[in-house]
Amino acid sequence: PYFEELRGFRDLEIKIKQTFDLERVIITPGDSDTDPWVKDELGKRAVSFLQSQLNNKQTVAVTGGTSMAAVAKMMAPTDLGKGSMFVPARGGLGERVENQANTICAEMANKMKGDYRLLYVPDPLSEETYHSIIEEPGVKETLHIIKQANIVMHGIGDAFTMAKRRKAEKNVLEKLESGKAVSEAFGYYFDQNGRIVHKVRTVGMQLEDLSHIKTVVAIAGGHSKAKAIQSYFRQGKSNVLITDEGAATALIKDL
């Protein structure tokens, strides 16, 4: 039965890979909505994938969120990251400190004996502050490194779950509602067709930068994220999806 399960996942992986035109899909058993430990398993699979990619001196950019925090948590100390650089992909986005990209990035670098640079910027930024802050030498240096990322790892969330968790202002919530936002990733909110509804103004990676990056890995599980995952991949800027059985089954059902 164990092998049957693995085989079953292989078929599911291939189906999702073809549907969303991805290079790699990895599915872990269970549903992280109902069993929180599944998120840790998701993290473990993401760690193995990352380690398989770290054969050279790489620059790894990471986002925040609980899925990415699970990736950092599940990392066992190793020196595979020696010579690699870890950076947050974008600013803090209003998350609690344990779920911020800075925290996750530092934890990963420490566990893998890599180096890291952080971004200390408030967000959302006003237009004016944005333009002056990107000229600050410390910020500029980190931004320069972010632009050189070879690997990006990020979460995908349900738009309204994320907006509420980040305590978005009323006008932002209204914008998300009228634009029928479905998903969120990198502080960008997308509708069901993958069109951008809203973008949190912060420094760091912009969506268009992803097109130049070889490996962009999305880590998102739980059946409640199926619509969000589908919406995010409509504009297809990531090429690897690490998910769980719950989300994967719901994704296929929706097709």
Would you tell me which residues interact with ligand G3H (CB under 6 A)? 63-67, 155-157, 162, 184-185
The dihedrals phi and psi of 170, each to the nearest 5 degrees, come to: -55, -45
| Residue corresponding to tokens 């632009």 | 147
Tell me the two tokens of residue 82: 């020696």
Measured from the CB of residue 162, what is the shortest distance to ligand G3H in angstroms?
6
Residue 80 or 87 with smaller CB distance to ligand G3H = 87
Q: Which is nearer to ligand G3H, 139 or 218 (CB)?
A: 218
Please identify the residue of the shown chain whose CB is closest to the bound ligand G3H. Answer: 65
N- to C-terminal Cα separation, the chain: 27
Query: Cα–Cα distances in Å, from 61 out to 80, 89, 105, 191, 255?
Result: 16, 5, 8, 25, 31
- Across the beta sheet with 240-244, the strand order is 24-28, 240-244, 215-219, 151-155, 59-62, 85-88, 115-116
Smallest separation (angstroms) from ligand G3H to the CB of 173: 16
Whichever of 80 and 104 has its CB closer to ligand G3H, that residue is 104
Q: Tell me how far, at minimum, the Cβ of 221 lies from ligand G3H, in Å.
A: 9
Q: Which is nearer to ligand G3H, 68 or 139 (CB)?
A: 68
- 96 or 140, CB closer to ligand G3H? 96
On whether the CB atoms of residues 157 and 220 are closer than 8 A, the answer is yes
Please answer whether residues 42 and 32 qualify as being in contact, where contact means their C-beta atoms are separated by less than 8 angstroms. yes
Least Cβ distance, residue 14 to ligand G3H (angstroms): 25
Taking the complex as a whole, how short is the minimal distance between the CB of residue 67 and ligand G3H, in angstroms? 3
In whole angstroms, how close is the CB of 96 to ligand G3H at the nearest point?
10
Do 207 and 196 form a contact (C-beta atoms < 8 A)? yes
Of residues 101 and 109, the one with the C-beta less far from ligand G3H: 101
